[in-house]
A and B are shown apart, each in its own frame.
Chain A
Amino acid sequence: MAWTLDDSRPIWPQLSQQLARQIIAGVYPPGSRLPSVRELAAEAGVNPNTMQRALVQLEQENLAKADRTAGRLVTQDVAALEAARLREAEAVIRDYFEAMAALGYTGEQAVQLLKEEFQ
Chain B
Amino acid sequence: MSDYLMECHGLYKSYGLRAALRGVDLEVGPGCIVGLLGPNGSGKTTLIKLLCGLLQPTTGWLTVDGSAIGPYTKSVISYLPDRMYFADWMKATDLFDLFQDFYSDFEYEKALAMCQSLGVEPRDRLKAMSKGTKEKVQLVLVMARKAKLYLLDEPIAGVDPAARDFILRTILTNYNEEGTVLISTHLISDVEKVLDEAIFLKEGKIILHDTVDNIREREGKSVDALFREMFRAEPMEGGEF
Give B195's nearest chain A residue, CB to CB.
A47
Inter-chain contact B216/A48, CB cutoff 8 Å: no
Q: How many residues of B contact A (CB 8 A)?
A: 22
Mask, B178-212, CB within 8 Å of A = 1, is: 00000000000000011110000000000000001
Inter-chain contact B222/A42, CB cutoff 8 Å: no
Q: Which of B23-39 contact A (CB under 8 A)?
A: 31-33
Inter-chain contact A11/B216, CB cutoff 8 Å: yes
Inter-chain contact A47/B33, CB cutoff 8 Å: yes
Inter-chain contact A47/B193, CB cutoff 8 Å: yes
Distance, CA A50 to CA B172, complexed state (A): 12
Inter-chain contact B212/A11, CB cutoff 8 Å: yes
Inter-chain contact B196/A8, CB cutoff 8 Å: no
Could you say which of B31, B172, B214 contacts A41, with CB atoms under 8 Å apart? B172
A27 an interface residue at 8 Å Cβ cutoff? no
B95 an interface residue at 8 Å Cβ cutoff? no
Give B32's nearest chain A residue, CB to CB.
A49
The interface residues of chain A, by DSSP majority, are classed as helix
Inter-chain contact B221/A7, CB cutoff 8 Å: yes
The interface residues of chain B, by DSSP majority, are classed as helix
B171 to chain A minimum Cβ distance, whole angstroms, is 10
Distance, CA A44 to CA B165, complexed state (A): 11
Could you say which of B196, B214, B217, B221 contacts A47, with CB atoms under 8 Å apart? B196
Inter-chain contact A47/B173, CB cutoff 8 Å: no
B225 an interface residue at 8 Å Cβ cutoff? yes
Inter-chain contact A5/B172, CB cutoff 8 Å: no
Inter-chain contact B172/A8, CB cutoff 8 Å: no
* Residue ranges of A at the interface with B (Cβ–Cβ < 8 Å): 5, 7-12, 38, 41-42, 44-50, 53
Which 10 pairs of residues, A with B, have the shortest CB-CB distance?
A7-B222, A10-B213, A10-B216, A46-B193, A10-B217, A47-B194, A42-B173, A8-B221, A49-B196, A47-B33
Subset of 27 A-B contacts with CB under 8 Å:
A5-B193, A7-B222, A7-B224, A7-B225, A8-B216, A8-B221, A9-B217, A10-B212, A10-B216, A10-B217, A41-B172, A42-B169, A42-B172, A42-B173, A45-B165, A45-B169, A45-B193, A47-B172, A47-B193, A47-B194, A47-B195, A47-B196, A48-B172, A49-B31, A49-B196, A50-B196, A50-B213
